[in-house]
């Protein structure tokens, strides 16, 4: 009977098992989770065609597959908590969340990618499905990054990226008299186009990467 050679002191059976596990281990290395405390969705809209209203949403959650050698294997499935909407005016925020986003029925915005490809040095382009208020539309994200990996104060690995997009609020049913009323100089009270910028931190999708629970006093 032929004796199988040993490699670096490993029995053949163990080496064979490691080879079988290699694709799964590689997939784990490329799996990241969004850091919700360090990631935000920022947006701007024109008001009365003369000023710009800035706002943000938090509560980003989701998983990301990032393969630096092959962007076609990348993917994103993420949600944003609409209840966190903030434009700096509490009364206006309550009205927008209730009257226009209907947060009781549609508490989250979801984005699920369909394709990712290289768009230049340090840049990616992602196509995907954006769902707001139960309506889904194809949406393109222009991505800068991801960055080089760094360690945070707790020793966790992190990478960051910025993604931008422009969408029509009307496509998702964000409409109403207070938004779409005409102004004397032409146009409407709030612009249909919304500019979005996502600032996102990612950490490895492993239990060790999760924030440590708070210690009881």
Interatomic CA distance for residues 118 and 194, integer angstroms: 25
What domains can you pick out in the chain, each with its CATH number? 31-206 (2.40.128.110)
pLDDT for position 18 = 43
Length of the chain: 217
Lowest mean pLDDT among 33-42, 74-83, 137-146, 174-183: 174-183
Confidence of residue 178 (pLDDT cuts 50, 70, 90): confident
Considering only residues 18 and 193, tell me which one the structure prediction assigns the higher pLDDT: 193
DSSP-derived letter for residue 19 is H
CA distances (Å), origin 163, targets 14, 28, 38, 109, 123: 43, 24, 15, 16, 10
Confidence of residue 96 (pLDDT cuts 50, 70, 90): very high
Provide the 10 A C-beta neighbour count for residue 147.
14
């Amino acid at each position: 009977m032929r004796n199988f050679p040993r490699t670096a002191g490993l029995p053949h059976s163990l080496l064979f098992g490691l080879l079988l596990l290699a694709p799964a281990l590689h997939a784990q290395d490329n799996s990241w989770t969004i850091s919700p405390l360090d990631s935000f969705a920022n947006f701007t809209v024109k008001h009365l065609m003369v000023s710009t209203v800035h706002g943000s949403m938090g509560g980003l959650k989701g998983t990301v597959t990032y393969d630096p050698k092959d962007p076609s294997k990348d993917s994103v499935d993420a949600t944003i908590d609409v209840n966190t909407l903030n434009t700096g005016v509490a009364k206006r925020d309550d009205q927008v969340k209730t009257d226009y986003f209907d947060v009781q029925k549609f508490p989250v915005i979801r984005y699920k990618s369909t394709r990712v490809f290289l768009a230049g040095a340090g840049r990616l382009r992602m196509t995907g499905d954006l769902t707001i208020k139960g309506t889904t539309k194809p949406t393109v994200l222009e991505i800068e990054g991801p960055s080089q990996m760094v360690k945070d104060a707790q020793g966790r690995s992190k990478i960051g990226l910025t993604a931008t997009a422009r969408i029509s609020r009307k496509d998702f049913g964000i409409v109403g008299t207070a938004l779409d009323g005409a102004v004397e100089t032409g146009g409407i009270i709030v612009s249909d186009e919304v500019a979005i910028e996502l600032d996102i931190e990612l950490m490895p999708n492993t239990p060790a990467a999760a924030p440590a629970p708070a210690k009881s006093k």
